[in-house]
Chains A and B, each alone.
Chain A
């Protein structure tokens, strides 16, 4: 079946630190991969996506590369800001069912 596993949080970093949030997936077929961000009290916002192997998605300084050989889609940012504090969800769009499968979410807290 399809599943997404994210590193457990919360992740606490100081401002300007390097961020990595690990995400691995299990899927049949060739899914598209996404990172969504949810700020406190808000809905989900699309952060970035990749639709095939070796694609790199990027947005607002965040990057993630679709690695088929390691079935991973790790989220990285070189220098985090307090405003990046949020919950980050890794997700795959199943090519078999068309359903979006989410990881459990990782809470990031950035301290000044």
Chain B
């Protein structure tokens, strides 16, 4: 089973709202990722968690706040977003992460389509 699940599937929020995106995997993977994908573009890496610790933050604005409560769950807390933050947010997982994880395959979830009004 190589399934990564994400909720909600769609989310509409105002610029003053606080919301959270959730991601879950039960493959025993120790690395989890958040990506942002704009229409007709490839995914852009936002955050990487390895063994429940944040290992990479790609200079993402603080209005995006990731959290990894345990090795199976990954959240992305959203606050005071801008309309340009509207995008598809993808979660992924892999067995390991980092420079030593040469052959590791990332498995993606279906994404959350976020619209900021």
Contact = CB atoms under 8 A, between A and B. Distances in A.
| B and A form one assembly | yes
A34 B110 CA distance: 18
B111 A42 contact: yes
Interface in A10-60: 30-32, 34, 36, 41-46, 49, 51
Interface residues of B, number: 28
A95 B56 CA distance: 16
- By DSSP majority rule, is chain B's interface helix, strand, loop, or mixed? loop
24 contacts: A30-B102, A31-B102, A32-B105, A36-B108, A43-B88, A43-B108, A44-B108, A46-B108, A51-B102, A51-B103, A93-B102, A93-B103, A94-B99, A95-B99, A95-B102, A97-B99, A98-B97, A98-B100, A99-B45, A100-B106, A102-B42, A103-B42, A104-B41, A105-B42
Interface of B: 2, 6, 40-43, 45, 48, 56, 88, 90, 92, 97-111, 113
